Amino acid sequence: MTEKQNQETADQKLVGLLAQFEDPGSLVRACNEARESGYNKIDAYSPFPVHGIDPALGIPRTILPFFVLIIGLTGCAVGLGMQYYANAGDWSPLFPGYNFMISGKPFFSLPANIPVTFEIVILSSAIATFLGMWALNRLPRLANPLHRISRFKRVTNDKFFLLIETKDPQFKREETESQLSQWGASVVEEVNEDLTDQQLPSWLQLAGLMTALILLIPPVLIFRAEGMTSRKPRLHVVPDMDWQEKYKTQTLAPNLGDEQHPNFLFVDGRAMQEPIPGTIARGDLYTDSEYFRGIKSGTESFATISTAGVHTGLQDAAHQDDSHQDEAAKDKPAEPAKDDPAAAPEPDWVTQFPANVHVNQALLERGQRRFNIYCSVCHGYAGNGDGLVNARAMALAASGQAQWTAAKSLNDPETKKNPVGRIFDTISNGRGTMGPYKSQIPVEDRWAIVAYVRALQGTGIKPTTMTKAVEKAVAE
Amino acid sequence: MATTVEPILDNTIEDPEHRAPLVLGGLDYAGVTDKVCSVWEADKAPKVWWLVLILAISLLMMLGACIGHLLMKGVGVWGNNNPAYWGWPIVNFVFWVGIGHAGTLISAILFLFRQNWRTSINRAAEAMTIFAVICAGTFPGIHIGRVWVFYWLFPVPSEHLAMWPNFRSPLLWDVFAVGTYFTVSLLFWYMGMVPDIATYRDRAKTKIRKMVYSLLSLGWTGSARGWHRYEAAYVILAALATPLVLSVHTIVSFDFAVSQVPGWHTTIFPPYFVAGAIFSGFAMVVTLLVPARKIYGLQQLITIRHLENMNKIIMATGLMVGMAYGIEFFISWYSGVAPERFAFYNRAFGNFSWAYWIMVSCNVFIPQLFWFKFFRTNTIAMVVICIFVNIGMWFERFVITVTSLCRDFLPSSWHYFHPTGVDVMMLIGSFGLFTTLFLLFCRYLPIIAISEVKNVIPVKSDEH
C-alpha cells in the first residue's frame, strides 16, 4: 500500500502524504476524520466540487464577494466620473472634456449615462471576480509537486485525493500513513518536491533578458521620435485623407465622358459650385452698412450688399474671367470698367466715423501700425505716395520695363476731401490699380487705418509728389 | 471503467417518481471523461469535420477578401444608400449579437435557476456566444469607415482628435455593452473550462499538447479550497452575466428605439429584442449540437431531453416574439400617430411585405410545430425548424432596419433597398468565420463541461 522508497535525499524534500479515495463519500469521511484528529494543513482534491467538503475540511467562506463588491462600486464611481469628465467637464488643461451641444440637452444627465455606468460596473466586477479568484487560489502556478505524481493525473478524471502536509504539527510520517489507510485510502503516496530545478534554466533566463531588451526598442524609437523635429510630414501608417481620390477646391474637374458626350461634375467644369447669386454665407450678412461698407445706411443698393462681403475665391476667379474676355481692357492702363465712376454712381459715403468706432489714442496707434505694415510700402510712412515699392516701380516704369500708376499722395488737397467712408471703401475694395485689402485687414483695423490717414492728413505735411530719391531714380 | 452498455432510455418521459436522468447509458465518472475526451483524442478528425472546415475556411477567406475590398474602396461597396444608411451590416450585427444570447442564458440564467440540464450543453453554447459576438463585432467595426481609427470609439485621450465620445449616444452604449458582453462571456467561458482543460492536460500524450494545456489550465489541481472559490466566482459571474445579457440586447434595441424613425421609436423594443435574441440563439444551439452529438457520438450526454427542453424554450420565446409583432400593430393603431400607422401598414403590405411575411412565417407559424412531441424529439425535424427560425430572425432585423428607413419622414427620399454582392458575400462569409471557430473549438477544447456533468450523475456511494 505504501511507497517503498523513503529516502529523503538532499535533492528531494517531503511535502506531504497523498491518499487516494475511490468515491466522493469516502473522501468527505476521511476529511472529517483528519480534521477531528487535529490536522489542519490538509487539502482534498477532486474532479468536481464535492458536496460537504467545505465543512469537512473547515474551509472558511471566501472573501471574494466583498472584494468584487468593492471593485464594482469603484467601477461605478470611475464610470460616472469618466463620463462627467469627458462630456461635462472642461476645466482640465490637458485633454479637456468635450461638450456636445445636442438640442440644448444637458451635458450630463444621469438617465443617459446609466447604460455605460452599468456596463462598467459589470465589466470591472467580472474582471475582479476572475482575477480575484485566481489570485486567492495562488494560481497560475507553473510547478506543483503534485503534478509529478502519475497517479494524481486521475484527479481530473475519476479519483479523489487527500493531502496531509508535512508542515502540519500533527504530521508524523508513519503514523499519518497508517491513519490514512485506516480512513479508507486505497493508496497512500509520498509527495516530494524536487529542489534541483528550483531555478529557471540559464538559457531561459538569457532568452527572457533578450526578449525584454528587444521589446524596449519600439518605445525607445517612439520617445526618440517624440523629442525630435522633422521637416517631413509625420509617418502615417494608413495615409488617411491624403490618400483619398477627391477633387480639390478651386480646380477644374476632369471630363469623365468623351469629346462627344462630356460629363463634368458641374456644368461649368469646376470641381466646386459658385454660390447662387444673392445668397450670403453664414456670418457674412453685414447689416450695419456704415460700419462694414462706409455707406450711409438706407442708401446702399442691392449690388453693393451682395458684393460687399469678404470676397470668396470663386468671386475673385469670376472677376478674373471677366477681364480675360476683354483683352483690350487688360492692356489698358486706365481703370477697369467696373470702377468707372460713370458706370456706377458714387454711393453716399459716410462723412463721420460709424458709431461703434471710437477714435482715441489706442485706435490711432493701432492704425499707425497697420498703416506702416500694409500701406506705407506704396504710400510712404507720411502718406506722400513715396513708398519704396512705388519708388522702385516708378524707376522701372521710367525705363519702360513696367507699367505703373503712381501711388496717390494722401495729402493731396483733392484726396483730403474724400469722406471717411470712401477711404474705408478704398482700403476694402481697392481703387484704380490699388488692390483690395479686405481679405487681409479686419474691419476694425481698416477703420483704425482710416483714422490714422485722417490724422496724417491733419498734420499739414506738404503735398510732395515724389521724394528726391525718386526724382533721382527717374532721372537716371 | 468501461461504460456499461445499456439500451438508451427515453428520458423525455415525465415520471413523477424519478428525476429524468440527464446522462444515459450508465456512464460513470471515467466514462464521462473518456466520452468527452474521445472527441479530442481521436487520431483523425471525422471526415465531415474536415469537409465542413475546408468549406468554412474558404468562406472565411471570402469574408476577408470582402473586408479588404471594403477597406480599399470604402463603404460604398455596400448597398447602403440614402435613405437606408443602415443596411445589411447592421442587420448582420443585430442578428449575430442575438445568436450569442442563448449561450449566456444557458450558462448564467439557467445556472441561477438550478436547471441541471444545462450542464452538457452550456460549454458549446458559451463558445457559440463568443464566436457569434466576434462575428457581430466585425460588422459595426468595418461599418465605421475608417477602421484604422477604431479606437476613437473608446474614451481614449487623443491630441489628434481633441474630443471625447458622446456618452449620451446609444451607439456608444453599444460599444460598451458589446465590449463588456464579449469580455465577460470570454472570462466566464474560460474560467468554466479551466478544470476541463486540466483534464486534457493530464491526458495529453504529446509534448506540445502537454505544454499548451498546462499553460491554459493555470496549474489547476482541483483542490477543495480551489473549488470553493471557483464555485463562488462562478455564482458571482452568473449573477453578473444575467443582467448583462438582458442589458446587451436592450441597448442594441436602443440604437433603434431612441431614434425617431417611425417603426423604431417604440418602448416595446427592449423586451421584444431580448426575447428574439434568446429565440434565435437557442435555434442556433440546436442547429449546432444536433450534428455535433451525432458526429462525436455524444448522444448519452446531450440527450433528446436536452434538445426537447431547448425546443420548448424556442417555442415559448417564439410566442413572445409573435405577441410583440401583434402589440406593435396594436400600439401603432392605438397611438393615433399617422406616420406610425403608416410605418406598420407599410411593413405588412408595402414594398417589403415579402420580407415581413417570411419573418412572420418563420418566427411565428413554423415554431408552432413544437407543440407536437414528434417535432420536439425528432432531430432532423428540429434542425429544419431551427434553421427556419434563424432565417426568420435575420429577416426580422432586416424588416425593422430597412423598411423603416426606406419610408422615413421625407417622402421625396423614399427608396427601395438593393443589397450588393459584397453584402451577400459578407453575410455568407460571417457564417464561415463562425463555423471555422466553432469547428476548431470542437477539435481542441472540451465541448462538454466534464466536471459539471459529473455533478449531475447520480452518486452511487452510500452517502447522499
Q: What's the mean pLDDT in A405-412? A: 86
Task: Please give the Cα distance from A237 to B25 (Å, whole number).
Answer: 60
* Cβ contact, residue pair A122, B184, below 8 Å: yes
Dump pLDDT digits (tens) for B421-431: 999 999 999 99
- Residue B434: predicted pLDDT: 97
Name the fold adopted by A292-475: Cytochrome Bc1 Complex; Chain D, domain 2 (1.10.760)
* Residue B249 touches chain A, beta carbons under 8 Å: no
DSSP per residue over A124-172, as a string? HHHHHHHHHHHHHTT---S--GGGG-GGGGGGGTT-EEEEEETTSTT--
Confidence category of residue A448, pLDDT binned at 50, 70, 90? very high
Task: Pick the more confident residue, B24 or A130.
Answer: A130
Confidence category of residue B42, pLDDT binned at 50, 70, 90? confident
- Residue B458: predicted pLDDT: 72
Question: Would you say residue B174 has pLDDT above 70?
Answer: yes
Question: Would you say residue A174 has pLDDT above 80?
Answer: yes
Task: Please give the Cα distance from A180 to A20 (Å, whole number).
Answer: 9
Confidence category of residue A462, pLDDT binned at 50, 70, 90? low
How do the residues of chain A divide into helix, strand and coil, expressed in percent and rounded to 5?
45, 5, 45
* Cβ contact, residue pair B202, A153, below 8 Å: yes
In 3D space, the residue among A363, A365, A374, A390 whose CA is nearest the CA of residue A466 turns out to be: A390
Question: Would you say residue A374 has pLDDT above 80?
Answer: yes
In 3D space, the residue among B215, B74, B228 whose CA is nearest the CA of residue B143 turns out to be: B74
- Residue A280: predicted pLDDT: 84
Task: Please give the Cα distance from B131 to B438 (Å, whole number).
Answer: 7
Question: pLDDT > 70: what percent of chain B?
Answer: 97
Q: Is the pTM of this model over 0.80?
A: no
Dump pLDDT digits (tens) for B120-138: 899 999 999 999 999 999 9
Return the residue of B nearest to A22 by Cα: B461
Confidence category of residue B26, pLDDT binned at 50, 70, 90? confident
Q: What's the mean pLDDT in A386-415? A: 87
Per-residue burial over A242-255, b if 16 or more Cβ lie within 10 Å, else e, is eeeeeeeeeeebee
Q: How far is A149 from chain B (nearest CA, A)?
A: 11
DSSP per residue over B350-401, as a string? STTHHHHHHHHIIIIIGGGGGGSHHHHH-HHHHHHHHHHHHHHHHHHHHIII
Task: Please give the Cα distance from A21 to B318 (Å, whole number).
Answer: 49
Q: Which residues of A touch B246 (CB under 8 A)?
A: none
DSSP per residue over A50-105, as a string? PTTHHHHHTPPPPSHHHHHHHHHHHHHHHHHHHHHHHHH----SSS-------TT-
- Residue A263: predicted pLDDT: 83
A252 DSSP 8-state letter = B
Question: Would you say residue B116 has pLDDT above 70?
Answer: yes
What's the Cα-to-Cα distance from A174 to each of A5, A9, A11, A307, rounded to whole Å? Answer: 13, 18, 22, 109
Question: Would you say residue A339 has pLDDT above 80?
Answer: no
* Cβ contact, residue pair A54, B163, below 8 Å: no
Question: Would you say residue A327 has pLDDT above 50?
Answer: no
Query: How close are the terminal C-alpha atoms of chain A, in Å?
Result: 127
Q: Between A140, A146, A154, which is nearest B218 by CB?
A: A140
For chain B, how many structural domains are there in total?
1
Q: Three cell numbers at B342?
A: 403608416
> Chain A neighbours among B 123-162 (CB < 8 Å)?
146, 148, 155, 157-159, 162
Q: Between B1, B183, B222, which is nearest A46 by CB?
A: B222
Question: What is the distance, to the nearest Å, from the Cα of residue A185 to the centroid of all Cα atoms in its chain?
Answer: 68
CATH for B444: 1.20.1630.10
Task: Pick the more confident residue, A40 or B59.
Answer: B59
* Cβ contact, residue pair B173, A125, below 8 Å: no
Q: Is the Cβ–Cβ distance between B328 and B341 less than 8 Å?
A: no
Q: Taking each helix axis from N to C terminus, what angle separates B29-41 and B421-444, rounded to the nearest 10 degrees?
A: 130
* Residue B433 touches chain A, beta carbons under 8 Å: no
Task: Please give the Cα distance from B91 to B130 (Å, whole number).
Answer: 18
* Cβ contact, residue pair A146, B225, below 8 Å: no
Dump pLDDT digits (tens) for B252-300: 999 999 998 999 999 999 999 999 999 999 999 999 999 999 999 998 8
Q: What's the mean pLDDT in B450-455? A: 91
Dump pLDDT digits (tens) for A208-248: 999 999 999 999 998 888 788 878 776 666 666 666 677 88
Per-residue burial over B242-259, b if 16 or more Cβ lie within 10 Å, else e, is bebbbbbbbbbbbbbbbe
The H or E element spanning position A45 is strand A42-45
Question: pLDDT > 90: what percent of chain B?
Answer: 75
- Residue B13: predicted pLDDT: 78
Q: Which residues of B touch A154 (CB under 8 A)?
A: 202
Sign of CA dihedral B23, B24, B30, B36: negative
Q: Three cell numbers at A84?
A: 462627467
Task: Pick the more confident residue, A246 or B140.
Answer: B140
Task: Please give the Cα distance from B233 to B195 (Å, whole number).
Answer: 14
Q: How far is A465 from chain B (nearest CA, A)?
A: 55
> Chain A neighbours among B 155-214 (CB < 8 Å)?
155, 157-159, 162-168, 170, 172-173, 176-177, 179-180, 183-184, 187-188, 191, 195-196, 198-199, 201-203
- Residue A9: predicted pLDDT: 54
Task: Please give the Cα distance from A255 to B176 (Å, whole number).
Answer: 47
What does chain A come to in residues?
Answer: 476
Helix (H, G, I), strand (E, B) or coil at B223: strand
B25 DSSP 8-state letter = T
Q: Is residue B461 part of a domain?
A: no
Task: Please give the Cα distance from B285 to B128 (Å, whole number).
Answer: 7
ipTM exceeds 0.90: yes
* Cβ contact, residue pair B221, A45, below 8 Å: yes
Q: Is residue B297 part of a domain?
A: yes
What does chain B come to in residues?
Answer: 464
Taking all residues of chain B, what is their mean pLDDT, rounded to a whole number?
Answer: 91
Q: Is residue B3 part of a domain?
A: no
The burial of B75, by beta-carbon neighbours within 10 Å (0-12 exposed, 13-18 middle, 19 or more buried), is given as middle
Question: What is the distance, to the nearest Å, from the Cα of residue A31 to the centroid of all Cα atoms in its chain?
Answer: 62
- Residue B346: predicted pLDDT: 93
Question: Would you say residue B224 has pLDDT above 70?
Answer: yes
Q: Which residues of B touch A111 (CB under 8 A)?
A: none
* Residue B120 touches chain A, beta carbons under 8 Å: no
Q: Is residue B11 part of a domain?
A: no
Dump pLDDT digits (tens) for B101-114: 988 888 899 999 98
Q: How far is A271 from chain B (nearest CA, A)?
A: 21
Where does chain A hold its CATH 1.10.760 domain(s)? 292-475
